[in-house]
Structure 1
């Protein structure tokens, strides 16, 4: 029978009661206005009828699926702009073409890695959740192909050259990056409340993986941070106080503005540093690669490296085990023997009867 409006004892709201193609309905309209309730009844009845005929994917929207996804613990960090763009679309209307168009609209000039992180991954997560609830078919989504990640690292001697060539306000940041493996955004937006110099420890509350991460501070990093003249707010600033020729002191610089990725704010100072140090093709993120390479060389502990660096998979840290294999030189040397000559160069003869 069609849906009807009913009053319930003690409630000011109108309720929907009835059965649509075997589906029993008993739910509140959340309004006490009869005219508004009647409009809700008509819309809801049409929706349920359509869903009973064509399935959930024809009527369930992306917003419904996203809400359900987040209610079950799903990550919603990048979903806001996606919901604004396609939230009202039925799940059945969202396929490869729609996702590609969404990526082009929201991130027209973004790199493949950014598109995957901000568009394709969250959309796929919501659609896979909806598929598990049988609201839609399991999605098959092609993602932008990302170039193989490079690993650029410097030696300790080159790192010292960079530190010495850095501008005064940049030098503590460079030491910090080499000492902690922090991503540039984690460092630029670090607040003093997350730094404990006495305990030699730092916490990154907001990370790429959305999981807080703590890292012990090397004495070199503690010394560098101790030189900073302030102990509140943002740790790293655009400039440090300096004394002018007239004896006046300039104020502490502003914090870095929050940007996605975080690296553009130090572009000019960084370029000057690497030019003065005579080191080419070295970005702020390469400090993280350098720290990871140093850590593995010193400790040979991929588990510790994975935890301290905030990587979620062993595959991400295994590449640092393959970057520098100087510790395996001894094993290579044994191939030919210490002298490089085993004493003879015969042919290995097959056993009697062997082909």
Structure 2
């Protein structure tokens, strides 16, 4: 049954029925309260009632931060995801309650972000929002629709083909020479990335117990695609590992993700490189490896790609060299 009471200048409606949680909502006018109560009771009578109170009192910011606390720590990219999601929680759209998070508002958020960042970043942020909402619907019993699925995604960017030339490699390594307060771990990380084609996350997760300098191998128990692999180390890669000090923690490179990221970006700027990202080191390494390992099966075993189509995104042969091979 429904009951109504006046609180200050507003009217509170309460619907109580066995088998359902109490439904409470406040209105400016009693007529609005009665209309809402009738609609709730009608839905209950028809077995169509959906409790949206949790979605009404929870903001998107609160949902994101709960996800960061409870779900993100179980993910491989916990540090990066936490940083990105907390930044997302500071956006104006996060002020809306979940029940009022419409496709129109998501689209407005998309358009505003496209003025500030790349298509790829916006696609990633929309994917974050969709995943968080779906998790809340499945695991936290928050009844709401997922408005993200109704919003047009920006065009996916074409795969990057940027890689270092020999001259750029020299300039970058010179810029990474530790002087003053510069991070001393950045240069060996970059050197190993160029020699092994390992991802940044894989490099930062390396442990001495998984490295065999005699056999020239590095075992990666946890990779991006979920399959462990053993990476062969070139003589140059082995020399890099022999020359760096060993940390008591057992971690090969005891440096935080964002500390490394900031130090690398500063070095790129000092070297005068244009449009070069850390992940482009993987492109550079794979292209160089392809000259030594023309068998793509062997090359994919080193790089960790499960399919040749994914490997092709990173392998960028020199067209002039291909022309010379054709004769």
Q: TM-score range by the shorter chain?
A: 0.5 to 0.7
Higher-RCO chain (CA-CA 8 Å, sequence separation at least 6): 2
- Distance in 1, matches of 2:175 and 2:308, equals 35
Work out which of the residue numbers 109, 113, 122 in structure 2 matches 1:115: 122
Do the aligned partners of residues 326 and 114 (structure 1) sit closer, same or farther apart at CA in structure 2, a change above 3 Å counting?
same
Aligned to 2:241: 225
The structure whose Rg is larger is 1
Aligned to 1:259: 258
Do the aligned partners of residues 127 and 264 (structure 1) sit closer, same or farther apart at CA in structure 2, a change above 3 Å counting?
same
Matching of residue 97 in structure 1 with residue 105 in structure 2: yes
Checking the alignment, whether the CA contact within 8 Å between 1:152 and 1:286 is kept in structure 2 is yes
Secondary structure of 2:220's aligned partner: strand
Matching of residue 150 in structure 1 with residue 156 in structure 2: no
Let me know the Cα RMSD of the aligned residues. 5.3
Aligned to 1:287: 281
Secondary structure of 1:201's aligned partner: strand
- Distance in 1, matches of 2:128 and 2:187, equals 37
Work out which of the residue numbers 119, 122, 131 in structure 2 matches 1:125: 131
TM-score by length of 2: 0.56
Matches within 5 A, 1:63-212: 63=63, 78=81, 81=86, 86=94, 89-90=97-98, 93-98=101-106, 100-101=108-109, 109-117=116-124, 119-126=125-132, 136=145, 139-154=149-164, 159=169, 167=177, 169=184, 170-184=186-200, 186-187=202-203, 189-190=204-205, 192-193=207-208, 195-198=210-213, 200-203=217-220, 205=222, 209=224, 211=226
- Distance in 2, matches of 1:163 and 1:310, equals 26
Q: Give ranges in structure 2 of 5+ residues lacking alignment.
A: 4-15, 26-35, 179-183
Secondary structure of 2:258's aligned partner: coil
Give the number of the structure whose residues are more often helix, by fraction. 2
TM-score by length of 1: 0.53
- Distance in 2, matches of 1:143 and 1:122, equals 13
